[in-house]
Amino acid sequence: MNHGKAHRKFNRRSDHRRAMLANLAAALIKHEQIMTTLPKAKDLRPVVEKLVTLGKRGGLHARRQAIAEMRDIAMVRKLFDVIGPRYKDRNGGYTRVMKAGYRYGDSAAVAVIEFVDRDIEAKGKDSGPVQERAEEAAPVPA
């Protein structure tokens, strides 16, 4: 019987699997679109949907729950300041998974997971304090 076995194991221990999903969620919040394997994208979707719901709810308790899940304070700040208010009128369905063919090396099914109504400018952009410090240190062209 296969009762109560809803998620994939990905050949990883439970702590490694949780860390992987947390890192993928942080990357998705950072870039608002990432490319990964199809099974990882499908398992990432409910994690990110719950984080966006926490971001919509706001408040200190929800922020601490998001930090406990993701462990990236800069991305939690973006979640609560940018992404949560963006979806305040939407009742779920914040992400979409689109198949993107097969990877060259091992023919693994690849997918793009992205936020619905995402910010096009966030793709590939390194947001957070590291980016701000780099912009301050860079010389301004005259």
What was the pLDDT predicted at 63?
97
Q: CB–CB of 37/109 below 8 Å?
A: yes
Its pTM stands at 0.84
From first to last of the 142 residues of the chain, give the pLDDT tens digit.
889 988 999 999 999 999 999 999 999 999 999 999 999 999 999 999 999 999 999 999 999 999 999 999 999 999 999 999 999 999 999 999 999 999 999 999 999 999 999 888 877 776 555 455 555 666 666 5
Give the DSSP H/E element, type plus range, for residue 95.
strand 95-102
Give the Cα separation of 14 and 21 in Å (integer): 11
CB 70 within 8 Å of CB 26:
yes
